[in-house]
C-alpha cells in the first residue's frame, strides 16, 4: 500500500517538457544591461526599428514586381466545353442517336464537362445528335446530312 501512494501521479508532480518554457528576454533596459541602448540591433536603418515590411527583399526587386503582369481577367463562371468535331461523328451508324454518354463511351469526349460539337470536317450520315452545345457550322452540316441537332441541359 505504501508503494502505491509513492508511485501515484499527482497534479503538483506535473511540469512542462524540457525546453518548452523559455525565459522571455527583456531587451533595452538601461545602458548597463547586456542588451541596453540599441538592444543588439546596431544603429539606425530599417532593421533597427520594429519590423521589415512583408515582401521586402533587402532592396532587390521583389517577387511581385519580377513576375510579368498578365493583362485582362479570367471570368470565374466561364463554361468550359469538351470539343468534338463533326467528322468524329462519322464513327456512328446511320440513323442512330448520338448522346453525350455515347461520345464518352467511344473516347471522343472526356469523362467530365459539357460537350460542344464544332463544324470541322464533313458528315454524310443522318444522325440525331444530343449534346450541350453546337457551333453554327456544325448545326448546319448535321442538318444538311439529314440529321437533327438537339441541345440538352
| Count of structural domains, the chain | 1
* Residue segments in the chain with a per-residue pLDDT below the cut of 70: 1-5
In 3D, which of 127, 131, 124, 126 has the Cα closest to residue 84? 131
Asked if residue 141 is part of any domain, the answer here is yes
Binning the chain into helix, strand and coil, the percentages to the nearest 5 are 25, 15, 60
For 78-100, how does the pLDDT look when each residue is reduced to its tens digit (9 = 90+)? 999 999 999 999 889 999 999 99
What local confidence, expressed as pLDDT, does residue 68 receive? 86
Are 148 and 115 in contact, with CB atoms under 8 Å apart? no
- The CATH number that applies at residue 101 is 3.100.10.10
pTM: 0.54
Asked if residue 70 is part of any domain, the answer here is no
What local confidence, expressed as pLDDT, does residue 3 receive? 60
Domain that holds residue 141: 81-151
Asked if residue 23 is part of any domain, the answer here is no
Asked if residue 51 is part of any domain, the answer here is no
> Which residue is associated with the grid cell 527583456?
26
What local confidence, expressed as pLDDT, does residue 1 receive? 55
Phi, psi of 29 (to 5 degrees): -115, 70
Asked if residue 57 is part of any domain, the answer here is no
User: Using CB atoms within 10 A of its CB, is residue 18 exposed (0-12), middle (13-18) or buried (19+)?
Assistant: exposed
Are 99 and 117 in contact, with CB atoms under 8 Å apart? no
What local confidence, expressed as pLDDT, does residue 60 receive? 93
In 3D, which of 130, 82, 134 has the Cα closest to residue 108? 82
Asked if residue 110 is part of any domain, the answer here is yes
Amino acid at each position: 500500500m505504501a508503494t502505491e501512494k509513492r508511485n501515484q501521479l499527482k497534479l503538483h508532480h506535473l511540469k512542462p517538457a524540457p525546453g518548452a518554457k523559455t525565459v522571455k528576454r527583456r531587451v533595452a533596459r538601461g545602458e548597463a544591461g547586456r542588451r541596453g541602448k540599441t538592444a543588439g540591433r546596431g544603429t539606425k536603418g530599417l532593421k533597427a526599428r520594429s519590423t521589415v515590411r512583408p515582401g521586402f527583399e533587402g532592396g532587390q526587386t521583389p517577387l511581385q514586381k519580377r513576375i510579368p503582369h498578365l493583362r485582362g481577367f479570367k471570368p470565374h463562371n466561364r463554361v468550359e466545353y469538351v470539343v468534338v468535331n463533326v467528322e468524329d461523328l462519322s464513327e456512328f451508324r446511320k440513323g442512330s442517336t448520338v448522346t453525350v454518354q455515347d461520345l464518352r463511351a467511344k473516347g471522343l469526349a472526356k469523362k467530365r464537362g459539357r460537350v460542344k460539337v464544332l463544324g470541322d470536317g464533313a458528315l454524310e450520315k443522318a444522325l440525331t445528335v444530343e449534346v450541350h452545345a453546337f457551333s453554327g457550322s456544325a448545326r448546319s452540316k448535321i442538318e444538311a446530312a439529314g440529321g437533327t441537332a438537339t441541345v440538352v441541359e
